[in-house]
Amino acid sequence: MDLILNYSFLRRGIKVKRFIGMAKDKVLPYGYQDIDQDDIDIVSDALTGEFLTTGPLVENFETALKNLTDAKYAVTCSSGTAALHLACMALGIKRGDWVIVPSITFLATANAVRYCQADVLFCDVDPNTGLITPETLRNAIQDARKRGLKIKAVIVVHLTGRHVDLKEIKEITQVNKLELIADSCHAIGGAYDNMPIGKSYYEQINTFSFHPVKAFTTGEGGAITTNNEKLASAIRQMRSHNMIKDGSNENKWQYVMNDIGYNYRLSDIQCALGISQLKKLKGFKQKRSRLVKFYNSKLKKFFPKITTPDRYGPTIFESVNWHLYSILIDFKALKISRGKFMENLRQKKINTQVHYIPVHTQPYYTKLYGSLNMPGSMEYFERTLSLPLFTKMHKDDIEIVVKALEELL
């Protein structure tokens, strides 16, 4: 913990909390951005450019994302949520359709389906990884067929950065004629089957988020990648009001809108930050990997009270860009509530988080679909806890977390 925290005032009197790193008396967050002077410089440059939005930096950032993912098309947008909404719209998801979504994910994965007036068919997950599996997916499809529901698509989530079995899931979706979206918001920078996450080899569309807790940031921001030109150009159009411009000289001022569109654009200022951050992704991934390995080695001795993520794969550890360090704790056996456990850690200046509250238990969804039986999701949810993991963290910080856990156990 060698860096400082100070408060400064911008010239116009706006109070900014300037976070350079961890101060000794600062609470360790569960996730945090990594912004350096070169990020600040490139954003400053962008502010003096001709375009503040939809200028050359958008294209530049999209090219960088294509290079990273090896997908043919990358389209940026204003958030990971917007990316999911655009992906669902591009695949023609609409009222009357059902879309399979894992119950353990962020709200946005399911909500994007509802934005299209379609219905969410929650799918159970593996109790140890929180991932949708070929088996839980088959069960969900069978259940839907029995109920006569028209399933249109599946959205899978690479929870914590660990990958779902895309290959087998693709086979299932193909047999059942379903579209496949990968919500890869946790997984950018990783690789699956020796291909970069986002390549869209098995899945039609990938979605990404550049929120500050994710692998790299643009403040708010998101993107989709795909190899399908039609999907990419539909998304590009919907991102900006679904406005089509007539390119010919005489009619340059004209535009038409055949269907509803949105303002889901990402600005040049944000893309400047994205370009700079993306250059550091490889280093960020290595740093996270080192921290995760250190955690794993330090926490091994607490098994079975604590289960570290390496116990359940993946087989190729290096292929994952770990977004979260989520361990499983048997709170029931320890006879302590998770809330109390987290509060005790917070008193030791360690913030933890739960990823996630099963989405099917949210009141909005129980009102729509009643209370569902998702034993795998509940078992995962009841045991999961995300410990601090961010690139500005040091091994000393992990020692502090481990010591705090030891005291609590």
Residues that bind ligand PLP (CB under 6 A): 79-81, 105-106, 108-109, 157, 183, 185-186, 209, 211, 222
Which one, 298 or 323, has the nearer CB to ligand PLP? 323
Question: HSE on the CB side for 390, CA within 13 Å?
Answer: 22
In whole angstroms, what is the distance from residue 283 CA to residue 285 CA? 5
Q: From CA 99, how far away is CA 398, in angstroms rounded?
A: 40
Tell me the closest approach of the beta carbon of residue 323 to ligand PLP, in angstroms: 7
Please say which residue, 111 or 298, places its beta carbon nearer to ligand PLP.
Answer: 111
- Between 31 and 196, CB nearer to ligand PLP: 31
The DSSP call for residue 74 is E
> In this complex, which beta carbon is closest to ligand PLP, that of residue 225 or of residue 299?
225
Alpha-carbon distance of 70 to 74, in angstroms, equals 10
Quote the least distance from Cβ 187 to ligand PLP, whole Å: 9
What is the spatial distance between Cα 157 and Cα 362, in angstroms, rounded to a whole number?
18
Sheet holding 384-387, edge to edge: 306-307, 325-329, 384-387
Cβ-based nearer residue to ligand PLP, 276 or 386: 386
Closer to ligand PLP at the Cβ: 207 or 391?
207
Q: Which residue is nearest to ligand PLP (CB)?
A: 80
d(CA 18, CA 16): 6
Q: How far is the CB of 125 from ligand PLP (least distance, A)?
A: 13
Alpha helices by DSSP H, listed for 130-242, are 134-146, 166-175, 229-238
Whether 282 contacts 226, CB under 8 Å: no
Strand pairing report for 191-192 and 195-196: antiparallel
**Could you give the CA distance from residue 212 to residue 79 in angstroms, rounded to a whole number?**
11
Provide the CA 14 distance to its chain's centre, in angstroms. 31
Beta-carbon contacts of residue 314 (< 8 Å; ≥ 6 apart) = 162, 163, 320
Residue 184: closest CA among 318, 297, 37, 83: 83
Residue 355 or residue 392: which is nearer to ligand PLP going by CB?
A: 355
Q: Closer CB to ligand PLP, residue 104 or residue 137? A: 104
For ligand PLP, the closer of residues 81 and 276 by Cβ is 81
* Residue 55 beta carbon to ligand PLP: minimum distance, rounded to whole angstroms: 22
Residue from 102, 145, 110, 150 nearest 380 by CA: 102
